Amino acid sequence: MKKTLGEYIRFLREKEDISLRELAKKLEITPAFLSDVELGRRNTSEEILGKIAKFLETTVEDLMEHDTRAPLEAIKRLAASDPSYGLAFRQVVEGKITPQELMDLVKKKHDGEEGK
């Protein structure tokens, strides 16, 4: 299974034998912020991704291949176009629906449309 962006950053960091604190210091960010990025709890700017790529001897493009997040602006536009999307997103974020339940719904809808 392909690593997420955060998992990939951690993999590269550990491969280079650089501690989280050491890399955070080089990037001029807090260790807590870098930890959140690695755990997928926070997003980071392209500027920071560029610095991460430089220190971990890779490219921004290589890092972005592991970024599976939906574009934030597209999500905002979708939620603004129909309030029910906003409600649905909140249900997911608040943990009222699990990722697996969401994927099951998508699969069920997809399978139903193929049968038509």
CB atoms near residue 83 (< 10 Å): 9
Q: Using CA atoms, how far apart are residues 98 and 32, in angstroms rounded to an integer?
A: 26
pLDDT digit string (tens) for 80-106?
888 888 788 788 778 788 878 888 888
The pTM for the full model equals 0.62
- Structural domains in the chain plus CATH codes: 5-64 (1.10.260.40), 72-114 (no CATH)
Of 49, 55, 64, nearest to 16 by C-alpha is: 55
pLDDT digit string (tens) for 6-48?
999 999 999 999 999 999 999 999 999 999 999 988 888 889 9
| Residues in contact with 9: Cβ distance below 8 Å, sequence separation at least 6, in sequence order | 37, 38, 52, 56, 63
